[in-house]
Amino acid sequence: MAKQEITCDDILRELKAGQYRPIYYLMGEEPYYIDLISDYITDNVLNETEKEFNLTVVYGADVDVAAIINAAKRYPMMSEHQVVVVKEAQNIRNIEELSYYLQKPLLSTILVICHKHGVLDKRKKLAAEIEKSGILFESRKVKESQLPVFITSYMKRKGIDLEPKATSMLADFVGTDLSRLTGELEKLIITLPKGQTRVTPEQIERNIGISKDYNNFELRSAIVEKDVLKANRIIKYFEENPKTNPIQMTLSLLFGFFSNLMLAYYAPEKSEQGIAAFLGLKSPWQSREYLNAMRMYNGIKTMQIIGEIRYTDAKSKGVGNPSLNDSDLLKSCIDFLIPYLFNKRRKYENDSFMCHFIIFRGIFPLFFYYHDLSGN
């Protein structure tokens, strides 16, 4: 049976209960959880007086393993523990040498290693020594489909509720940068009127700068419903506000949605619960839009749409595009999704290059290029 992986909540629960480990090796691609654990230890294990003599913070570029071991071997002064925090540990050479200290670590020392944007090879001796006496935690990037749950859980801990549309607006606008996302959430909490505990789309629009009517969430909804007039209005708004609505963000959102839609066709059970389980969505209500889209788009059209989004993404980065600006590219892409939206639909069936593109890059989208645009 595989060992259950420890989570950030597990670590924080232990820390709040006063259960400390000799070492916390925090690593991974998501800095948010690494900072959250490290900051909690720095702020809460020692009181302000104890911190003067027993808190050491160093940076990987400025120290070597020997200096870290020497700091960890010191005994605390007038305190039960000392805390040694190593930030940017990915810059330390020969980090494996730390395993010699961990064979018999000083129990009064809490050593926190922050290794961002990378991971330790778990097959090496150091990983094994860490797991014997401490915590080896990998902070993974949150997937876009997990963002609504992250947002609602974060706000629930603060005693705040969000309307579903407000949650989707934030997730689509901010994306998977959790540090930025939590910053926006804290801004919302501060600006809430006294006594109010529910965030509405109007408050998102007023305080975050996202239009409640003209955003990627509403554009996706218009495409799913094939609402030509609504899609046209949103794209015109995007054209007038290019800095807040970059084409890459829009294409990434659409690509993720239609890629998931392609997967949804293979779900054994075509219900809210069945599709949510098959796609790994945390809440069944998230699957409603996929069910609506399945009624509007068949599998062949979905595959062609994925190919078109990739084609547009390439052109937005200058590939085979000498003249079209982002606005024209988006119009052309949406025109393919909702035919005749701009009365200038291109005839891909007669374009040999696009036929090749759709057949070889469209019929097998999930296998060949899901990772390219989504980054997951």
**Tens of pLDDT, residues 46-97:** 999 999 999 999 999 899 999 999 999 999 999 999 999 999 999 898 899 9
Asked whether 8 and 139 are in contact (CB, 8 A), the reply is yes
Q: Is the pLDDT of residue 9 over 80?
A: yes
Domains and CATH numbers, the chain: 8-139 (3.40.50.300), 144-208 (1.10.8.60), 246-374 (no CATH)
Q: Strand ranges (DSSP E) for the chain?
A: 23-28, 55-59, 82-87, 109-116, 135-139, 161-162, 198-199
The 10s digit of each residue's pLDDT in 260-273 is: 999 999 989 988 88
Q: Is the pLDDT of residue 375 over 80?
A: no
Please give the full DSSP string across 309-326, using - where no structure is assigned: HHHHHHHHTTTT-SS--H
> Alpha-carbon distance 45 to 47, whole Å?
7
**Band (27; pLDDT cuts 50, 70, 90):** very high
Asked whether 285 and 292 are in contact (CB, 8 A), the reply is no
Largest CA distance in the chain: 81
- Mean predicted lDDT score pLDDT of the chain: 83
Asked whether 352 and 359 are in contact (CB, 8 A), the reply is no
Q: Which of 2-6, 30-34, 160-164 comes out lowest in average pLDDT?
A: 2-6
Cβ burial 136-162 (10 Å sphere, 16+ → b, else e): bbbbeebebbebbbbbbebbeeeebeb
Tell me, what's the pLDDT at 171?
84
**Band (346; pLDDT cuts 50, 70, 90):** very low
The 10s digit of each residue's pLDDT in 213-261 is: 788 888 888 888 888 888 888 888 888 887 777 888 888 889 989 999 9
**Band (282; pLDDT cuts 50, 70, 90):** low
Tell me, what's the pLDDT at 352?
36
> Alpha-carbon distance 231 to 301, whole Å?
19
Three-class DSSP category at 111? strand
The 10s digit of each residue's pLDDT in 202-212 is: 888 888 777 77
